[in-house]
Chains A and B, each alone.
Chain A
């Protein structure tokens, strides 16, 4: 007898186009192995396009970024989260102090969640003090 398999499905929303199809991601022992369209979704009613059917393939791709990187002597090198976050916050603070809040710009993303978009514009507006925030709505 081998170890029991750990298989589950998780209902979520597609990350590609603006249709917003719903499907179940199939997870086996911590790996995303497939996509099953959701029949009760009001958008896609049990259908998916070729991108949707294969949306699980890039999630655990070997080329995913797994560690923060910081440019040192012209090269991006792996660093700890503390070092990357401190560097980012300190440099943003320095630029704000030397050149003013409107010398910093933010691109938020049509790929991240509502919650993350809300948070980044809050950071830009409340913490940095600029309305220089935009995203690829025009692209």
Chain B
């Protein structure tokens, strides 16, 4: 997030797109409710009538995968009406002209034809957001999990820059990170192209700095493989060994039948986890690590706040600290590591990581610290791009609408999207082993519109078969008005009815994110009895 969670309360307008905030980020939804009470106008755009839409001043239901069209239509209206911030554009951005041309050619009537939102609604959104003094954008995987994920995010950045809603309090572009430490895993260099704090592996200066600190002659300056490339590598034989720490791709990744086949081809599969997940069941060796309650360390949340994690209980059975397991493997592999605590690892990391440079365990007591925090007297940073955009000038991108990789046809006539439910989390490894949460929702379901249900002769609770070009599953139908005719939705937490058997692994060409939020499917009544 460019801005902070508490700042939502001070916004005049909050535009939520592709985020089921109440379900996936409940304590951020609380701030949005408070903002509403303080007088903020709320806009929600989502193909599904998500819970947060109930407090919206404007709610629109765009067709799946048409976000760029909707956003370009909104920006067209803002430019036409003169609600843009020319001073901000002139002083702090570049490439505005190229962007303006694309958007100028995309009036709301044209946008409406693509995204299914009326031109009047597009104008109303443009006015609410465009005329607000402090307007904040909130998005989640509904924006990013598309073959046009990067285009969608750049379009939101365009919208914020166009209206000068960047670099000041209660504004900004605010992606809600889905996992407790996905921000931290990225910050720590858990990506194939960067060391910590996004220092590129292709930079010889960065590679030399880390090589010196780590006591090796040199480090590879070749960008490594992303998850989809690793799976291709396993399937094709170029990748032989796979080490998986605390992830469950056999349930979480698109087209899981293909994922499973790829992992089965590994000569060596090591899985380090806290439960015997579907992925661990395939492993050659399973290493029992510990849960958050059994370890010390830090997490970095969606607003870049680094907070302490503290050990409350001793590890289950003979499970061991995850850092100890990695250190022992490294030592036996022939590369010595000799840390005596997570704090010792943290101190080494901060010495190599400018945005974490001023953070110590001592300073994290209390409220934690938000990066960038480069020096020991720096108070941390509540919002980014103050006075000046971090890269120098904010870059406008001219982006034209492109359809999803797979569109509906006669054989697969319905659009499918996937997501979370309030009681569960990701592949259910933790929540489905929590009796109270399991009692709330014990099995998966397929949301089907009342129109489609009556057309297909399916009643609420009936078993249906859901098929795509990748595979087929059986699941119970939930007939609902939450979704519109022609679309279906399914949570991905439940391995017995695993949504990712049918999802599309087609991915964004730049960031490689898979198109989990839209694919074409067919629904039929199943022979299985209720």
To the question of whether A and B form a pair in one complex, the answer is yes
Q: Which residues of A contact B (CB under 8 A)?
A: 10-22, 25, 27, 30-32, 40-44, 47-51, 54-61, 63-71, 76, 81, 84-93, 95, 99, 101-139
Report the separation of the CA atoms of residues A107 and B239 in the bound assembly, to the nearest whole angstrom.
13
Chain A nearest Cβ from B251, distance in angstroms: 10
Across the interface, which residues of B come within 8 angstroms of A109, CB to CB? Answer: 181, 185, 190, 245-247
Q: How large is the interface on B (under 10, 10 to 19, 20 to 34, 35 or more residues)?
A: 35 or more
**Beta-carbon contacts under 8 Å, B210-263 to A:** 210-211, 214-216, 219-220, 222-227, 230, 233-234, 238-247, 249, 252-253
Residues of A contacting B: mostly: mixed
Contact B305–A42 (Cβ < 8 Å): yes
Q: A51-B423, A121-B189, A126-B216 are in contact. Are A112 and B333 (CB under 8 A)?
A: no
Across the interface, which residues of B come within 8 angstroms of A120, CB to CB? Answer: 190, 243, 245, 326
With CB as the reference atom, state the residue of chain B lying closest to A66.
B317
Report the separation of the CA atoms of residues A95 and B431 in the bound assembly, to the nearest whole angstrom.
36
Report the separation of the CA atoms of residues A13 and B312 in the bound assembly, to the nearest whole angstrom.
11
Q: A15-B291, A18-B25, A119-B327 are in contact. Are A136 and B252 (CB under 8 A)?
A: yes
Chain B nearest Cβ from A47, distance in angstroms: 6
Given contacts A32-B293, A111-B246, A136-B179, 10 further A-B contacts (CB under 8 A): A19-B26, A30-B313, A61-B433, A91-B267, A104-B241, A105-B241, A112-B322, A116-B322, A123-B333, A134-B224
Contact B245–A108 (Cβ < 8 Å): yes
Report the separation of the CA atoms of residues A82 and B24 in the bound assembly, to the nearest whole angstrom.
40
Chain B nearest Cβ from A80, distance in angstroms: 9
Contact A49–B27 (Cβ < 8 Å): yes
Chain A nearest Cβ from B187, distance in angstroms: 7
Contact B284–A71 (Cβ < 8 Å): yes
Contact of B116 with A by CB under 8 A: no
With CB as the reference atom, state the residue of chain B lying closest to A65.
B288
Contact A66–B293 (Cβ < 8 Å): no
Across the interface, which residues of A come within 8 angstroms of B325, CB to CB? Answer: 85
Chain B nearest Cβ from A71, distance in angstroms: 5
Q: A15-B430, A30-B314 are in contact. Are A103 and B241 (CB under 8 A)?
A: yes
**Beta-carbon contacts under 8 Å, B28-55 to A:** 28, 30
